[in-house]
Amino acid sequence: MKKIYIAGSGGMLGEAFYEVFRPDNELKCTDIDVNAPWLSYLDIRDLEAYRDDVAAFRPDYLFHLGACTDMEDCERNPDNAWRTNAIAAENAAYIANALGIPLLYIGTAGIFDGHKQLFDDWDTPNPLSCYARSKYAGEVFIREHVPQHLICRAGWMMGGGPAKDKKFVQKIMQQLSNGVTELHVVNDKFGSPTYTLDFAHNVRTLLKKEYWGVYNMACEGLTSRLEITQAILEFWGLEDRVKINAVSSSHFRQEYFAERPPSECLINAKLNFRGLNEMRHWKTALHACLTDYYTNVPQTLTRK
């Protein structure tokens, strides 16, 4: 049994880490938003408070999950984005080094510019948005200053269900639950879905092996927002009842104005080379996500 401090664990990924690591580890989970009984309050941007809380727990590992992932909010409030995504990551690095423990940091596929379709672990990032730049700054600092680091890059996150998921799958599910019969979905953005539970399991495997470094860690297979929506409708047997209107990203430009790359598709090359890639195909993982988190759905959603 290990002691693990998980900072910024109030979101969909934090819940997955709690579920995966809780059975055989002692955890302390914190977040600025205390939305579950197993969470306590901590602001990762406050170095002194962060350091004191981690030091008092005396963990074997520090997991730094906290981030501002709302891309539009990052553009509107860049100072908060840099403090949360970059400075807080530096705080985690200082703490891990002071305690002599390994540090896990969550990277993002968004650091690539989409100039090609697929990106492996060694491709050179070129972040386009405030969110991507601030996240990449955190990755670079940890990579350069923490000897035992594990940086795992996720793609389009899914998991957590209605209570935790603020991303694409839940947005589609919310519309379907409201009984919509027509959806507008972009057809010019491609990426790699990442199921939070699969991600947490694969992190656990890397930790056991102590294979430090930077890893792409997304579900297998490239896809689009449009194809994901089609798969959701097929899962619920709604493909004949809900119409999809394919639109370009400009259709949502007013609401989603932060610059996004045309492709964020990841190849888990290093995991594959080491024989440690546990990430399932995105459609298999999507079905698992819908099964795991949407057991109580409105009658508008009827399985085949």
Q: pTM above the 0.85 mark?
A: yes
**Domains of the chain (ranges, CATH numbers):** 2-167+192-222+264-282 (3.40.50.720)
Q: What is the pLDDT of residue 194?
A: 96
The average confidence (pLDDT) of the chain is 93
87 contacts: CB under 8 Å, gap ≥ 6: 45
Q: 44 versus 117: which is more confidently predicted?
A: 44
pLDDT > 60? residue 304: no
3-state secondary structure at position 263: strand
pLDDT > 80? residue 86: yes
- Reading the block at residue 268, the tokens are 């888990």
6 contacts: CB under 8 Å, gap ≥ 6: 14, 17, 18, 21, 27, 28, 29, 30, 63, 65
92 contacts: CB under 8 Å, gap ≥ 6: 7, 44, 50, 62, 64, 103, 105, 142
Rounded to an integer, what is the distance from CA 201 to the centroid of its chain?
14
Q: What is the pLDDT of residue 13?
A: 96
Q: pLDDT digit string (tens) for 203-229?
A: 999 999 999 999 999 999 999 999 999
